[in-house]
Structure 1
Amino acid sequence: MDAAEPDARRVRAARAGILVLFVGMGLMLGTHVSRVPSVRDALGVTPAQLGALFIAGSIGGLIAFSLLGGLVARLGSLLLLRLASVAVVVGFGGMALAAHLGSPAVFGAAMFVTLGSFETVNALANAEAATVERMVGRSIMSQFHAAFALALLAGVGIGALYSGAGVAVPVHYLVNVGVVGLAFLACARLAILDGAPAAADSAERAGGIFVTLRVAARERRTLALGLIIFCAFTIEMSANNWLPLTLVDDFGRTEALAALLYAALVVAQSAVRVVGGRLIDRLGRVRILRGSAVLVAAGVLLIALAPGFWAVPIALLLWGAGAALGYPLAISAAADERTNATARVAAVAAFGTIAGLTMPQAIGLLAEGLGLRLSLLLVVAVAGAMLLLAPAARPLPAPATGVEEGEGAADTLEA
């Protein structure tokens, strides 16, 4: 290890702090997801109007991603994480106020702040996780994302308890997110290894405030990794948005059973993420991405074309396993080059937000003419694109030993 780098004890502490960030983000998202029906009723909006409010939040996320690299260079990641932690609590407070007042306009503005600050925390956590992964010397990124997924499930479960007990949305939001925000502030110094601003004459500062946009536009590898994120996010979001409805409408199952089966998909996804690091180190990034694409395609084809319900549980396990590693693997690849690593992570992560803005709607439009099951075949095409893009995740040449060298050897075999 370089003398300038932290020792093993400090790296372990940072790993624990980053885990808190991922768990907290999962709980925040679960808090929101679990009360969407109540929020809709409180605001008095239609599903289409609620979707428009969510788009306002997504725009906030995209703006945050575009500015992130420049802000990190000027403010430092530690200060930015602390500011974003406060802002996400303020944003959720605004959403709570909007639900109390029944004001869609206030809710849309609060969503803009909430998602912008949430995605800032998300990108900083992923960039720092990639740094720790490099120092540990083996693939561990998928474990952080497994913690996020399990915390999301826990947040949804806690939300169901709040709802069942008749707790109002504002109280639920303020209690849960307030606790998470305090945890973020408490562990920020632990999670961030080097949070200082970049030197005035550094490459990071020379890129300008919009350095994230520049690396996305100019670097072919970063653009390709962003497209992999686009595919991976589409694969996940399609399951989130459409699977429960497909199980109810096309297979005639109850909403409760559909929720239980969707939970099984998330558990399969999380289980693969827990062990995924070892698979990546053994087989290499490219093989894992290609295998993930094949699993997703097989699962979606079963859902779309299955002659009976018996194939659905198998399909969900395949889909969940295939959806597990694409996103964290592309994030790790984006941080291979240490200069402007945060900007690259933000650039590729922004493609996930773009996918969230476009692909669920595309499937919904297809469903109008083809039916929901057949419209899911679009996910098969997306999985095929991820398979073709997989070589972009091959590690950059580096003299250092460890995970990058090992993966490079594995991936070189398939060049």
Structure 2
Amino acid sequence: MASTVTHEPSKDSSAASRPGYGQLLRTRGAWTFLVPGFAARQPFAMLTISIVLLVQHTTGSYGAAGAAAAVTGVSMALFAPYSGRLADRYGQRAVLFPGVLVHTVSGLTLTVLALAHAPLWALFVAAVPTGASVPQVGPMVRARWGVKLQGSPLMTTAAAFESVTDELTFVVGPLLATALCTAVDPAAGLVTEAALTLLGGLLFAAQKSTQPSVTAAGHARVEHASALRVPGVRVLIVTFLGIGSVFGGMQVSLAAFTESIGEPGLNGVLYGTFAAGNMLSGIACGAIAWKVAPQRRLLVGYAALALAASGLWAAHSVLVLAGLGLLVGMCIAPALITGYTLVENLVPAGARTEAFTWLTGAVALGQAAAVTVAGQLEDRLWGGAGFLVPMAGTLLALATLLALRSRLMARSGSRTVARGVGHRMPVAVD
């Protein structure tokens, strides 16, 4: 996932001539994988909040709800990179078909157990395969763009479009899940999430013409170094953990806040305001050809995010919380997009899919930890104490980012040209 951002002067100066979103979306066959891909992406954004709202409803405890959601998030984070590697080796269809079936069955099992008031350990057992089998559709869509475009100037625009799509997913998923759980039934969020995974995942996997070939991956004799060996990737993982703490802390704390004032329906409105800021700034960032280096943008943007998140715990009215939520949301998208942009500069092409899944997993892991801690704080301390989690998470990540910022500078060394998942060709080693 990368925006149109670049710190190379020759590219910055050509911003006006860069192909736009409209031209990209007119690419023949693009909609055949974009539409099902968007549906299949929703589990990442819907899953945590759906579990929190359902388990809290059946147990009356935000601590239990956060713990169940955390098990799912940790499983997702741990298995995401392996899912990407399996797709590289065996093909997307081979991973998606069994994956979406396992996710659907385990998600529905978790729903039934929660409604039956099963013990917490039973929810944990069902949560593990539910999180582990979340389809990693985002990196797969990026690989398909590589197949369709192959060296076209539209590749830069496609990278920006995928960043915006990810931001939109964070808007639509939680909003849809919250609306279903509060207005229809507490279980409706998880049921819909499972249905979208099944339908979207199978339709996406069925698009054979845009799937990257696995022939080269299966027979290439190129040593594949893990993306984790790149120091900058490890710094970005910590950074994205902080972003995940914002998502998790906001989801639990907004639900607790609106319930405490007797207006649970406002949860969707407040989270929608937060998500709208995220989406709008994501669209803007993805459309701009930046002249400022991404390392500097990440530092400035993340400092703004930490500052905005630090005020959430002190908000005691709906209007103030909505305003701060909007501001926090507007700060998240630039940090996410810039982080993914840095992957393009730091990681050889043959390891970028894995790097993207590590960052996606870091968000899931941060979110999982946040819902657990925020749930315990809401249960044991005052209403709104869960908002301390986004503050702590972003401040700790900012401190790490400042201390290790030199590791975000790209080093000249090996270069690799990638044409999507399964297509790796080393071309030069200095």
TM-score range, shorter chain: 0.7 to 0.9
Bigger share in helix: 1
Tell me, yes or no, if the aligned pair for 1:62 and 1:353 is still in contact at 8 Å.
yes
**For 1:98 and 1:67, how far apart are their aligned partners in 2?**
28
Q: Which of residues 30, 33, 57 in structure 1 aligns to 2:49? A: 33
Question: Could you tell me which residue of structure 2 aligns to residue 413 of structure 1?
Answer: none
- Residue 200 in structure 1 maps to residue 219 in structure 2: yes
**For 1:324 and 1:112, how far apart are their aligned partners in 2?**
29
Question: Could you tell me which residue of structure 1 aligns to residue 109 of structure 2?
Answer: 94
SS across alignment from 1:325: helix
Question: Could you tell me which residue of structure 2 aligns to residue 242 of structure 1?
Answer: 253
Shift of 1:248: 7.0
Relative to the length of structure 1, the TM-score reads 0.73
Q: Which of residues 130, 142, 155 in structure 2 aligns to 1:136? A: 155
Relative to the length of structure 2, the TM-score reads 0.70
Shift of 1:319: 0.8
Question: Could you tell me which residue of structure 2 aligns to residue 408 of structure 1?
Answer: none
Question: Letter of the aligned partner of 2:165 in structure 1?
Answer: F
Shift of 1:108: 2.8
Shift of 1:69: 4.4
Q: Which of residues 278, 281, 305 in structure 2 aligns to 1:272? A: 281
**For 2:103 and 2:401, how far apart are their aligned partners in 1?**
35
**For 1:141 and 1:319, how far apart are their aligned partners in 2?**
21
Map 1:230-379; keep pairs closer than 5 Å.
230-245=241-256, 254-257=263-266, 259-279=268-288, 281=290, 283-304=292-313, 311-334=320-343, 337-362=348-373, 372=385, 377-379=391-393
Tell me, yes or no, if the aligned pair for 2:39 and 2:200 is still in contact at 8 Å.
no
Map 1:172-183; keep pairs closer than 5 Å.
173-174=190-191, 177-183=194-200
Question: Could you tell me which residue of structure 1 aligns to residue 230 of structure 2?
Answer: 219
Question: Could you tell me which residue of structure 2 aligns to residue 3 of structure 1?
Answer: none
Question: Could you tell me which residue of structure 1 aligns to residue 426 of structure 2?
Answer: none
Question: Could you tell me which residue of structure 1 aligns to residue 128 of structure 2?
Answer: 112
SS across alignment from 1:25: helix
Question: Could you tell me which residue of structure 2 aligns to residue 21 of structure 1?
Answer: 37
Tell me, yes or no, if the aligned pair for 1:95 and 1:110 is still in contact at 8 Å.
yes
Q: Deviations over 1:110-159 (max 9, x none)?
A: 32112111154455446657888985223223211133123211343244
Question: Letter of the aligned partner of 2:214 in structure 1?
Answer: A
Higher relative contact order structure (alpha carbons within 8 Å, sequence separation ≥ 6): 2
Question: Could you tell me which residue of structure 2 aligns to residue 149 of structure 1?
Answer: 170
CA spacing shift, 1:196–1:322, aligned 2, 3 Å: same
CA spacing shift, 1:342–1:284, aligned 2, 3 Å: same
Question: Letter of the aligned partner of 2:395 in structure 1?
Answer: A
Shift of 1:382: 3.7
Tell me, yes or no, if the aligned pair for 1:234 and 1:356 is still in contact at 8 Å.
yes
Tell me, yes or no, if the aligned pair for 2:107 and 2:126 is still in contact at 8 Å.
yes
Question: Letter of the aligned partner of 1:137 in structure 2?
Answer: T
**For 1:302 and 1:99, how far apart are their aligned partners in 2?**
34
Question: Letter of the aligned partner of 1:90 in structure 2?
Answer: V
SS across alignment from 1:137: helix
Question: Letter of the aligned partner of 2:332 in structure 1?
Answer: A
CA spacing shift, 1:328–1:88, aligned 2, 3 Å: farther
Tell me, yes or no, if the aligned pair for 2:69 and 2:368 is still in contact at 8 Å.
no
Tell me, yes or no, if the aligned pair for 1:40 and 1:46 is still in contact at 8 Å.
yes
CA spacing shift, 1:261–1:58, aligned 2, 3 Å: closer
CA spacing shift, 1:149–1:361, aligned 2, 3 Å: closer
Shift of 1:323: 1.3
CA spacing shift, 1:277–1:395, aligned 2, 3 Å: farther
Shift of 1:16: 5.8
Tell me, yes or no, if the aligned pair for 2:41 and 2:135 is still in contact at 8 Å.
no
**For 2:32 and 2:396, how far apart are their aligned partners in 1?**
34
Question: Could you tell me which residue of structure 2 aligns to residue 409 of structure 1?
Answer: none
Question: Could you tell me which residue of structure 2 aligns to residue 404 of structure 1?
Answer: none
**For 1:130 and 1:266, how far apart are their aligned partners in 2?**
29
Shift of 1:392: 5.6
CA spacing shift, 1:289–1:20, aligned 2, 3 Å: farther
Map 1:396-407; keep pairs closer than 5 Å.
none
Question: Letter of the aligned partner of 2:127 in structure 1?
Answer: M
SS across alignment from 2:349: coil
CA spacing shift, 1:99–1:269, aligned 2, 3 Å: same
**For 1:193 and 1:158, how far apart are their aligned partners in 2?**
33
Q: Deviations over 1:330-354 (max 9, x none)?
A: 2344355321222222223332233
SS across alignment from 2:333: coil
SS across alignment from 1:202: coil
